[in-house]
Structure 1
C-alpha cells in the first residue's frame, strides 16, 4: 500500500466544505480521515462478496467453479475466512499503522476496518443476497443503484437498426460482457454465434465501443457497440453475460433467465447466487466451449419462472432513492463522494458532491500521450478525455526507476503522477534482472494456463493495465490469480515485475495464445 499517505492528503483536500463522506470499501484511509475531520462516514458495498459471511461463503475469484463452498457449515467457514484474513493482513501493515496513529481501534483494514460505525449500505438486491447475522452493525440493504448509460450522450431509445431487428421476428438471445470483460473477450462472441445458429435462434451481440465486431455475421444476428441494458434486456429471451454486479442486477430486473460466464473478481460469486436462486446457469469463462455454451442455453427455459419472480422483487426496489434517503436523513443533504477505483451511479443523484468520479475516469487509461496543451487519455473502450495542464490533478504514483518507466518521468514532472518523498516506491527500488524477469513471466504464464486462469488473468491485466498506478491497485484484482501460482513469498516480486508496462505486455502476449482461448 505505497500510496496511502497521498490518498490521505488528496481525500482531505477533496472533503473541504463537505458535511459527510460515503466511500467504496477500497478507500482504506476513509475511517482515518473521517475521524481527523470529525465527519460522519458511511461505506457502500456494491456486491455481496464485499460483505463476506460465515453463513454464506463467497465463491473465490480464482476458483469460479467452486460452488461447493456454499455448503460449508459456519464453524468451518469461520476458520476459512479467518485464515484468509490472517494471510493477507501483512499486506495491510501501512494501513494498520495509520489507523493506530489516528487512535482508531484495531481492526483488519481490508475488512472490519472498513465497516462504518454509523451506516453501511448494502447496494444490492435481496434477490441476490439476504442480510446475514454477521454483517456489520448499522447495515441497510437498499437494492441495486441502477445506471446504464455510458456518459456519452446516449438517447433513451435503442439504435434504429437494433429496434428494427427486434421488431422483425422472435426475441433474441443477448450476449454481453459488460464494461470491463469486453476488453478481453477471447472467442466468446464467435462461440456465441455458433451456439445461436445451432439453436435456430437470433442474437444481439454487445461488443463494446471501439471494438471491431465479428465479420460476416449470419442472418438473425446483429452486433452493436452498446445498448442500455434496461431497454434491451426485457426484450430478449435470455441473457448471457460476465456476471459483473451491474450487469447481473439489470439482468435480474429484466426477469429473463441468465447464463453467466464469470471471469474474476466478484463475478463467480454473483453467478452462483443467480444459479442458487433458480434464475440461471454458470459456465466459467475458462471452461466455455461451444458444446457447454449450447447445453447451458438449452437448459435456460427451465429457469423462466424463477427469473420472472426475482425480476418482480428487483423491480420493486430503488437502491438510489433508498440510499439517498438514508444518507440525507442522517447527515443532511451535502454529501461528499470519493471513488478511488470506479465511479458509482449514486454520485449522479445526490445534490452536492465535493469530488466527482471524473478522477476515476482516467486512473486506468489505455492510451496516453502528452501534448503542449495537456494530457490526452483514452480510458478503456468508452471514455476519451483531454486534461488541460492547469486542470491536471494528482492521481497516483509512478513506480520505480526501471528503464521501461523513464518515459513517465515527463508525466511525473508535469504533476500528474507525483513521486513519494523518497523519489520512488520502496518495493520497486531495484528492477528485476533480465533472467529473473523472464523466468517469472514464464512461471506466471504457464501456471495460469495450467489452472485454467488465463482468461481471468487477461481480464485483470487489461483492467489494471499500468500507466503509473499498476499493481498498487491492480493486485486487488490480480493477486487472487497470482497467489495460487506463485505463493505469497513471490507476490512482491510479481508486483515489481508488473509495474513495468513492457512486462505486462509480455505476459499478455504469453497468455493470449490458442492454449489460453476459452
Structure 2
C-alpha cells in the first residue's frame, strides 16, 4: 500500500506531515512526501527517501515585498486573500502539475490545507482521499474559522466564517484550476461552490492534527471528521545539542525561549530592540532563534544565547516560558512542554491559537506583532513568571498532551479508511 502526502507552506506546515509519514512507514506503508524542495533534506534525515519536489520556495516568497505585506494582514480575511494572490498565482499551474506527477502509482492521497491540489489527482486516479489539517476548516457554530475576526457574534457568524473562508480561497483561483482540470486531467470543472461542498457531500474523511485537550471536537461536526492529537516529530536518537547551548542552559535561572519560526519581519532591528530591552528590564535570560527573519544582532549580552535550529521538544522542556508567533507547530510544542506561552501573532490562524492560549489560562492575551512594545512584552513576561496558577495550568495541560499519541491515532484511522499496508504485497 502506497500513500502520497501532499503538504505545502512553511516549515511548520511541513513538519507535522513528516511525522505522519514516519509513523505510516513504521506501520508498514510505503510513503511519498510531495512538498517544496527546501524540505527534502529534512525528510531524508528522518528516513523518508521518497520525496517529490513541488514548485515554490516559501522562504524566498515570504522575503519579497508581497510576502511581507501578506504577513502583515492580521485577521483581515480580505487582506489575507489579496495578499496571497501574487504569491500563489505564478506557481499554481506548475504546482498542481507537480502534485499530479507526485501521485502517480499511489493507492491513497493525503492532503493539507495548502496541498489541496492533491484532491484533483485523487479524483482522476480513483483512489481514496483524506484531508489532514492542522487548523479547523470544517464549519461549526462553536468558534470562527482561524484567521477571521473573533467578534463573538454567535453560532451563525462562526459557521459563515468557514463558508466565506473556503469561498475566498477558491473563487480567485477558480478559473485557473478549472481550466487545468479540464485540459490536463480531463475532469469536469468545479461549480461556484468549489471543491469543499463536494468533499462534504462525498463524506471525505478529515483528520485534524491538534489536541482535543486544546480544542475539543465540536458536537456539530460529522462523524467522519476526527481530532487525533498533535503530530509530533521525534528528534533523531543521535541528535546532540550544541555545546554552547548546553552550557548556557546549565546556569540558573532557566531562560525564556524567543523565536518566530517562519515569520519574516519587516523591521527586524525594531523587533530585536524590543526583545532585548524587555529582557533587560525583567532581568531574564533567553534562548533566541534566528528563524526565517534571520535575526542577526551585532552584539548580544551574555544573558542571551543565539541559535539556528534546535528540536523544540528538547529545548522547551528546559525553559521557563516560550515566546513565539503562534504557528500551529510551535504552539503544539510549547503546550506539550507544560510551560506558559506568550504569543506574538502576525497573521491568520496565529490569532486563533493566541485566543485559545488565553482561554485555557496557560498564557496572557496575545500581543499582535504590530502592537508589540517593550512595555507590553515586559508586562507579559512578568505575568507568566509570577502567576503560579497559570504555570500549574500549563503543567497540567502539558501532562494531558504528552499522554496523547496523535500520530498513532491518525495512522490507525488511515488504516481503517484505506486498508492495511499488506494490501500491496
Give the TM-score of the pair, scaled to structure 1: 0.56
1:131 aligns to 2:212 (yes or no): no
> 2:203 corresponds to which residue?
117
Partner of 1:30: 118
Gaps of at least 5 residues in structure 1 are 336-351, 353-518
User: Structure 1 residues 21, 86: closer, same or farther in 2, change over 3 A?
Assistant: closer
1:99 and 1:106 in contact (8 A); partners too: no
**Matched ranges for 1:191-202 at <5 A:** 191-202=274-285
Instruction: Answer yes or no: is the 8 Å Cα contact 2:341–2:363 preserved in 1.
Output: yes
Deviation at 1:222, TM superposition (A): 1.6
- Output one character per residue of 1:47-95: Cα deviation in whole Å (capped at 9) or x when no partner: 23x345332013536xxxx54x2x3211233345545555665324334
For these two proteins, the number of residue pairs brought into alignment is: 327
Asked if structure 2 preserves the Cα contact closer than 8 Å seen for 1:45 and 1:121, the reply is yes
Of the three residues 40, 47, 54, the one matched with 2:128 is: 40
**2:290/2:306 contact within 8 Å kept:** yes
Q: Name whichever of 304-313 and 174-183 sits farther off.
A: 174-183
Larger Rg: 1
- Partner in structure 1 of residue 239 of structure 2: 156
Q: State the partner residue of 2:369.
A: 285
Bigger mean CA offset, 78-87 vs 160-169: 78-87
SS, match of residue 21 in structure 1: strand
Matches within 5 A, 1:337-348: none
Q: Residues 367-419 of structure 1, C-alpha deviation per residue, up to 9 Å, x if partnerless?
A: xxxxxxxxxxxxxxxxxxxxxxxxxxxxxxxxxxxxxxxxxxxxxxxxxxxxx
> In the TM superposition, what whole-angstrom CA distance separates every residue of 1:445-480 from its partner, at most 9, and x where no partner exists?
xxxxxxxxxxxxxxxxxxxxxxxxxxxxxxxxxxxx
Q: What value does the CA root-mean-square deviation take over the aligned residues?
A: 3.3
CA contact 1:125–1:144 (8 Å) conserved in 2 = yes
Distance 1:154 1:240, change over 3 A: farther
1:172 to partner: Cα distance = 0.8
Aligned to 2:392: 305
Distance 1:25 1:178 in 2: 19
- Measured after TM superposition, the shift of residue 247 of structure 1 is 0.4
Distance 2:273 2:160 in 1: 43
CA contact under 8 A between 1:4 and 1:29: conserved in structure 2?
no
2:410 matches 1:327: no
Say if 1:216 and 1:5 are closer, same or farther in 2 by CA, change over 3 A: closer
1:144 to 216, 230, 240: 230
Partner of 1:175: 258
| Closer/same/farther in 2, CA of residues 17 and 220 from structure 1, 3 Å limit | same
Q: CA shift at 1:154, angstroms?
A: 9.9
Shift in alpha-carbon separation, 1:178–1:39, aligned structure 2, 3 A:
same
Distance 2:103 2:360 in 1: 41
Could you say what secondary structure the match of 1:140 adopts?
strand
Cα deviations by residue, 1:475-514 (Å, 9 ceiling, x for unpaired): xxxxxxxxxxxxxxxxxxxxxxxxxxxxxxxxxxxxxxxx
Query: Which moved further from structure 2: 114-123 or 182-191?
Result: 182-191
2:329 counterpart residue number? 246
How far did 1:4 drift?
Answer: 6.0
CA–CA separation in structure 2 for the residues paired with 1:83 and 1:332:
35
Maintained 8 Å contact 2:346/2:369: yes
Q: Distance in 2 between matches of 1:163 and 1:126?
A: 34
Q: Structure 2 length normalisation: TM-score? A: 0.68
Secondary structure at 1:205 match in 2: strand
CA distance 1:148–1:289, change in 2 (3 Å): farther
> Tell me, which stretches of 5 or more residues in structure 2 are unaligned?
1-88
CA–CA separation in structure 1 for the residues paired with 2:307 and 2:95: 39
Structure 2 contact 139–160 (Cα < 8 Å) conserved: no
How many Å separate the matches in 2 of 1:237 and 1:259? Answer: 11
More relative contact order in 1 or in 2 (CA 8 Å, sep 6+)?
2
* Counterpart Cα distance in 2 of 1:292 and 1:104: 50
Structure 1 counterpart of 2:309 = 226
